[in-house]
Amino acid sequence: MRMRRLLSVPFRRGLSSTAAADPSLASSAEHAYRLLRRHHSDPQRLAAALSASARPDHDHPALFLSLLESLSKAGHVATAEQLVEELQPRIPLSLRHYTALLYGWCRQGKLDEAKHVLARMKAADVALDVVAFNTLLAGFVADGRFEDAFELAREMERRGCPPNAVSYTTLMQGLGARGRVDEAMRVFGYEFLDAMSREGLRVDAAVYHGFFIAHEKKEQLEECLELMERMTECRCPPDLKIYNVVIRLSCKLGETKQAMALWNGMENGGLSPGVDTFAIMVGGLVGQGALIEACSYFKDMAGRGLFVAPQYGVLKDLLNALVRDEKLELAKDVWECIVSKGCELNVSAWTIWIHALYAKKHVKEACLYCFDMLEAGLMPQPDTFAKLMKGLKKLYNRQIAAEITEKVRKMAEERHVSFKMYKRRGVRDLEEKPKAKRRRGQKKSSRRQSGHGQSSRNAELSDASDEEEFSG
């Protein structure tokens, strides 16, 4: 069905205005339309049905052009070429005819055939425009044939049709996507930006995103900063995606001051950080142990109303790091900021906070926040309840245990949940989760030993003797 649409819709659209003024053409066009729909899945029968011997009225210039474009877009380029071979003696081919064939062959990845079309155009003394050149250029880049692409760009210069912004963008994005940043810079250099600016060609910052990604993989921070500076000088300032990449790389390399300087430059340039930018900054600062700064950015995110459920991983990392570093008051301040700003707090958010406190033996504080959770009408997860009961038993604090138990029992009854089954599940989860984490840690350890490598962040999973932090 999709192929039939590809054949019929462009065809009818291309003929609608011309056929309206010519009844005979309208009849021929309608018949050709029906042939396209009937034989769309059989190229040979389609070619036979559309041949000049079967339908001599197809030599009408408008009908011929529409057929050619429709067939090329649908992938029936061979059929289009047969039609050209039959009708070309009577109908000279224009730039638009050749461009349709170029597009069809390039779309199929048959670039040698496309180059042959280019040679035919040259032989027919048809002047190419930048659209035709860019069509073939995009085909070379998509197929990874960059030498041919560079040669074509030079030919564009020789023919008096110099590459435009689309040409350069196609080349640079293709090289960047394949991680060939060094080659792109060797071919173009940063002077490319200056040349584009002098010629009045506007370059979108998104063109360079692939280059920054490649620099990030190679941990080339200086190269990123230099490219950002040149982009700004050439009136093509970096966009938010580029800032995200460079800030993430800065944090990864421990250059937290550079990351914060980039942040300030981003805001001074009129860009407003989004959820992803905040998540990258907070996560990067936590990873480098800059917890006070991380708290500041997190509270800014909450204050702007950007803290929502998908960022709970950032919350977990921050709170666990603060509690682990014995910055309990700072962790409480972060939590109070979330509450006071009216951010969405579901069971997962409360569980992250309560488990973070419990993991470092702050059992009484965890219980107090559990009361707040219950007051908010949220029922704790079964393993959260089991953790608190276990911790209170060690502290011989039966009164708090009884109060929490009574509140949870009433909540279970309101939700038609068996409190007995709820307790059993909590105990089972408490026993099974450490075992599952230990197994995962052992698997990761064995993969490290076999050379597969593993992030050091997950090393704590192998220690099952300590109380585990909530993994949400």
Token pair for 405:
């138990």
Token pair for 219:
């941990």
Of 305-319, 380-394, 438-452, the least confident: 438-452
Contact 461, 444 (CB under 8 A): yes
Give the domain ranges of the chain: 345-449+458-472
Contact 284, 256 (CB under 8 A): yes
Q: Quote the pLDDT of residue 198.
A: 61
pLDDT tens by residue, 192-242: 555 566 666 666 777 778 778 888 988 999 999 998 998 887 778 899 999
Q: Considering only residues 444 and 27, tell me which one the structure prediction assigns the higher pLDDT.
A: 444
Q: Is the pLDDT of residue 22 over 50?
A: no
Q: Quote the pLDDT of residue 86.
A: 65
Residue type at position 7:
L
Q: How many CB atoms lie within 10 A of CB 42?
A: 11
Q: Residue 180: what are its φ and ψ, rounded to 5°?
A: -95, 55
**Average pLDDT for 84-96:** 71
Average pLDDT of the chain to the nearest whole number = 78
- Residue whose tokens read 């009484």: 364
Q: Quote the pLDDT of residue 19.
A: 42
Token pair for 354:
């309560």
Integer angstrom CA distances of residue 441 from 387, 452, 454:
22, 14, 10
Q: Tell me the pLDDT band of 270, cut-offs 50, 70 and 90.
A: very high
Token pair for 235:
């009136």
pLDDT tens by residue, 381-435: 999 999 999 999 888 788 999 999 999 999 999 999 999 999 999 999 888 877 6
Q: pLDDT above 70 covers what percent of the chain? A: 70
Report the sign of the C-alpha dihedral through residues 187, 189, 193, 198, in that order. Answer: negative
Q: Report the distance separating Cα 282 and Cα 293, nearest Å.
A: 8
Closest CA relative to residue 362, chosen from 405, 314, 319, 313: 319
Q: Quote the pLDDT of residue 331.
A: 95
Closest CA relative to residue 169, chosen from 132, 208, 142: 208
Q: Quote the pLDDT of residue 195.
A: 57
